Structure 1
Amino acid sequence: MREILIVGGGYAGFYTAWGLEKKLRPGEARVTVVDPRPYMTYQPFLPEVTAGSIEARHAAVSLRRHLRRTRLIAGRVVEIRHADRAATVRPVDGSDYELRYDTLVVTAGAVTRTFPVPGVAQRAIGLKHVEEAVAIRDRLMTAFDQAASLPPGPERRRLLTVTFVGGGFSGVEGFGELLSLATAMLKRYAELSPDDLSFHLVEARGRILPEVSDGPGEWVVRSLERRGAHVHLNTQLRSAEDGHVVLSDGAEFDSELIVWTAGNGSNPVVHNHTDLPVDERGLLVVRPDLRVGTDSAPVPDAWAAGDDAAVPDLAAAPGARTVPNAQHAVRQGKRLARNIAASLRGKRVRDYRHSSLGVVATLGIGRGIFQYKRLVIKGFPAWLMHRGYHVLAVPTWERKIRVLTVWLTAALFGRDLVSLASVQHPRDAFVGGGRPEGPDAGHPSHVGPRHVTAGGRNDDRPGQRPRSVAA
């Protein structure tokens, strides 16, 4: 029986394994998925998790619940030697070991791309995983509680200052949703006013949302600014040491919450620890049928998809590559499953081709933007389209129903404005007599993941930090 190894359980990996379970005959092949997390994160829901519009667990799809005939290994692949058909696995606990395979599928996903900006590694948090989204929400809500007990002044202003670095879909959606949450919370805090809030979106380019055209992008900027936000275009973050933000446009301010969403980078395993061919960006060279290699030099028994693969975009101009978003990753995973099953049986495989369905983004409750070619829809209708598309796109009926239930409940009773920041430090109450301990105890910055490794590598292990893409 052939061994099929899938590196990574994100969109492309999950849908490949899920599809293979449906396509493979009993005894035809065994599928193994290696990923440190026991779930697939539905990343388009993360901005709504930060705003409390979706429960954190509903943005995570359990691998074991839905991949019932797939072997799951909790760990990460740290080296691939395809010439030997072997991979080195580093489990969550224990020593590295070798895993042999016959067919390889690389869907490891990208990592948060960071730059050597002073203070970012110590102060910033990403928005790529459920844990990070929950921590962002809890920090903001804890900051509100603390600010309400302080008189107007610099300390209150610092607690209620939020900075997002990166104006792509992940950054803009997270920024808009968190601004919506903060504005809603002001109604519950009589001590605070809109003037106490200070939200900053920093983008190095001259526009945000590069996937939409100039006009809709400019409308989003105006919409955010009308809501009291500060959008810094053509601006870079120079420093964030001790939470003091210094921007290249001359602005300086203290910010309690700094969120880094300035793009993705190639997974270090793919870029540095494999004998498979990669391009100048560190992405795997992939043919239109998702085999690794080129038409003249294919790599036998190796396939790839998702953010780590330079997949030719046959629906665009010659030489174009598919953009790294959920819309492509999901469909590439489904095509991979069909092609691998066909290849095992000696049948014809098909090229991946998908024309974009357009782009849609949420900017907070009741606000959104949608564009398909020249068609642009703004405001409440676009927001409804965003919710409708993603409730259809999230895998499994179980998740669809759970998400819809939370949305309907929130429509009737409003958002649940409760912070559970202490849940991330469950022993504090036990060892401290009910009070958090340590130099940062009780401080919002003490909440949640805090660490990032050099080069943006993300991890859940102690001393490391976990690592958006709209359809």
Structure 2
Amino acid sequence: MEKILIVGGGYAGFYTAWGLEKKLRRGEADVTLVDPHGYMTYQPFLPEVTAGSIEARHVMVSLRRHLRRTTVIAGHTTKIDHAHRTATVHTNDGALREIAYDTIVVTAGAVTRTFPVPGIEQEAIGLKHVEEAVAIRDALLTAFDRAALLPPGIERRRLLTVTVVGGGFTGVEVFGELLSLATALLRSYPELGRDDLAFHLVDSNKRILPEVTDEPGRWVVRHLQERGGRIHLGTQVVSAADGRIMLSTGESYGNGLLIWAAGNGSNPVVAKNTDLPVDERGLIRARADLRVGTDEAPVPDAWAAGDNAAVPDLASPVPGARTVPNAQHAVRQGKLLAKNLVADLRGRKVKPYLHHSLGVVATLGIGRGIFQYKRLVIKGFPAWIMHRGYHVLAVPTWERKVRVLLVWLSAVLFGRDIIPLSTVQAPRAAFLAGGDPFAGSGSGSGTGPTTAKAAPAPAAAATAALADAEAPAARPELSVVRDAG
């Protein structure tokens, strides 16, 4: 059988494998998908996960559950040697494995773009993975609990200061959602006031949301400012060390939560560890039919799609334009790629990728949003409804659609859940500290007085466990950035 290897299980990779399962005859090809996670993350919902509007697991689609005829390998692809038709995979159990293939599909996605700014590695959290979204939500909720114990002053305000770097859709959406959450939380924290909150959105460009035209972009800025947000355009973060933000304008302030959403960076395996052709941005060169290479020099048995591929945008009037890295293109490229792989396998003609934009829509918090399609612009509550309607239709599988709808319905009836789960990052702390409320009562097995007294320095052990959980090497928000792709 033809051996097809898919590198990456994001939008493009998942939809390619899903489409192949529907179209391939049994025995026609053997499909293997390599991804470090066992799920595809529906990234447009991540800002709502940070605000508690959607449960984290509901934005993830299990690969094994929905790809029954595909071999799923949990690991990172570290090298692609297309000349010898092999890929090196570092599996999640720590082993190195070499996988042979006949045809390769590179859909490894992109990673968060970072810059050599002091303090970023220690302080910032990205927003490409669900673990990061959960960490952001827990950090904000925990900050409210801590701030409520402090008197008014600099430290309380620092805890409730949030900085988002990046004025694209991800940055603006998470800024709007967190601002909405924080404002709503004040009703549950009578000790705190609106003046204790400080939300900063920083972008090096002179405008935000480059996908919309100028006037809607200016409206979004005014809207966020009216809600108390501070927008810093044409500004860069020059330092984030020691919990303090320093801007290129000279402004400096204490900061509690730093979210880095400054765009996409090229995937390391694509940019540095493959013999497939890449462009100056570190993206795989692809043709309109999603084959790797150019019209003059195609690469046999190699295909690419999604955020790691430079795919010509045939719908754009600009010569040489490439499709932008978003979910609309990745999903549709994955679907076409499955069709083209089957057509090529059967000796039929493949089709070029052509997609006209359906418009752009963004959430700015509960009940607030913006939508634009050509000259049509819709703002406020109708745009927010359109955002939720579009994405609940776009998220794959009916199971996930129903789960998301049920969570939204429960939020209408009961409000958002505001319980943080930050202690899940140190699950053994209570155990090491003897935190069982029945410890020492003499009941149960192994929890009597002797066991409790024998535990050496339980408070110190719990502190050490928490310190280990918060160390840079173990922080989920940092590890997932390094593992992206």
Q: Same-fold call, TM > 0.5?
A: yes
Query: Would the alpha carbon gap of residues 185 and 382 (structure 1) be closer, same or farther in structure 2, given more than 3 Å must change?
Result: same
1:319: Cα distance to partner?
Answer: 1.0
1:437 maps to: 463
1:44 maps to: 44
Structure 1 alignment gaps of length 5 or more? 460-465
Q: State the AA in 2 paired with 1:228.
A: G
2:452 maps to: none
Structure 1 distance, partners of 2:274, 2:172, is 34
Query: Would the alpha carbon gap of residues 450 and 8 (structure 1) be closer, same or farther in structure 2, given more than 3 Å must change?
Result: closer
Runs of 4+ in 1 over 2 A off after TM superposition: 432-436, 438-453
Query: Would the alpha carbon gap of residues 446 and 282 (structure 1) be closer, same or farther in structure 2, given more than 3 Å must change?
Result: closer
Query: Would the alpha carbon gap of residues 79 and 441 (structure 1) be closer, same or farther in structure 2, given more than 3 Å must change?
Result: closer
Residues 253-279 of structure 1, C-alpha deviations (whole Å, 9 max, x = no match): 111100000011110100001010111
Does the aligned pair in 2 maintain the 1:268–1:457 contact within 8 Å?
no
Structure 2 distance, partners of 1:418, 1:289, is 48
Residues 165-198 of structure 1, C-alpha deviations (whole Å, 9 max, x = no match): 1111111001100110000100000000000000
Query: Would the alpha carbon gap of residues 450 and 252 (structure 1) be closer, same or farther in structure 2, given more than 3 Å must change?
Result: farther
Does the aligned pair in 2 maintain the 1:122–1:450 contact within 8 Å?
no
Does the aligned pair in 1 maintain the 2:372–2:378 contact within 8 Å?
yes
Q: State the AA in 2 paired with 1:32.
A: T
Structure 1 distance, partners of 2:470, 2:91, is 32
Structure 2 distance, partners of 1:443, 1:111, is 23
**2:421 aligned with 1:415, yes or no?**
no
Structure 2 distance, partners of 1:264, 1:432, is 42
1:320 maps to: 321
**2:355 aligned with 1:354, yes or no?**
yes
Q: Give percent identity, aligned residues only.
A: 71
Does the aligned pair in 2 maintain the 1:12–1:333 contact within 8 Å?
yes
1:463 maps to: none
1:329 maps to: 330
1:446: Cα distance to partner?
Answer: 9.4
Q: State the AA in 2 paired with 1:250.
A: G
Query: Would the alpha carbon gap of residues 130 and 195 (structure 1) be closer, same or farther in structure 2, given more than 3 Å must change?
Result: same
Query: Would the alpha carbon gap of residues 212 and 344 (structure 1) be closer, same or farther in structure 2, given more than 3 Å must change?
Result: same
Structure 2 distance, partners of 1:151, 1:450, is 31
2:383 maps to: 382
Q: State the AA in 1 paired with 2:430.
A: A
1:441: Cα distance to partner?
Answer: 5.8
TM value normalised by structure 2: 0.92
1:440: Cα distance to partner?
Answer: 6.8
Query: Would the alpha carbon gap of residues 374 and 201 (structure 1) be closer, same or farther in structure 2, given more than 3 Å must change?
Result: same
Query: Would the alpha carbon gap of residues 450 and 404 (structure 1) be closer, same or farther in structure 2, given more than 3 Å must change?
Result: closer
2:19 maps to: 19
Structure 2 distance, partners of 1:5, 1:223, is 47
**2:246 aligned with 1:220, yes or no?**
no
Structure 2 distance, partners of 1:191, 1:445, is 31
Q: What's the C-alpha RMSD, in Å, of the aligned pairs? A: 1.8
2:443 maps to: none
Q: State the AA in 1 paired with 2:260.
A: W
Structure 2 distance, partners of 1:160, 1:457, is 24
Does the aligned pair in 2 maintain the 1:110–1:265 contact within 8 Å?
yes
TM value normalised by structure 1: 0.95
1:432: Cα distance to partner?
Answer: 2.5
Residues 264-304 of structure 1, C-alpha deviations (whole Å, 9 max, x = no match): 11101000010101111111110100000111111001000
Q: State the AA in 1 paired with 2:377.
A: V
Does the aligned pair in 2 maintain the 1:135–1:448 contact within 8 Å?
no
2:209 maps to: 209
Does the aligned pair in 1 maintain the 2:285–2:293 contact within 8 Å?
yes
Query: Would the alpha carbon gap of residues 442 and 180 (structure 1) be closer, same or farther in structure 2, given more than 3 Å must change?
Result: farther
Q: State the AA in 2 paired with 1:449.
A: R
| Structure having the higher Rg | 2
1:306 maps to: 306
1:449: Cα distance to partner?
Answer: 2.9
1:94: Cα distance to partner?
Answer: 2.7
Structure 2 distance, partners of 1:131, 1:88, is 26
Does the aligned pair in 1 maintain the 2:283–2:310 contact within 8 Å?
yes
Structure 2 distance, partners of 1:91, 1:43, is 24
Structure 2 distance, partners of 1:248, 1:350, is 48
Structure 1 distance, partners of 2:79, 2:138, is 36
1:442: Cα distance to partner?
Answer: 12
- Aligned to 2:463, the other structure's residue is in SS state coil
Structure 1 distance, partners of 2:256, 2:470, is 8
Structure 1 distance, partners of 2:140, 2:425, is 15
Does the aligned pair in 1 maintain the 2:425–2:469 contact within 8 Å?
no
- Map 1:11-410; keep pairs closer than 5 Å: 11-317=11-317, 318-410=319-411
1:427: Cα distance to partner?
Answer: 1.0
- Aligned to 1:31, the other structure's residue is in SS state strand
- Count residues with an aligned counterpart: 459
Query: Would the alpha carbon gap of residues 116 and 442 (structure 1) be closer, same or farther in structure 2, given more than 3 Å must change?
Result: closer
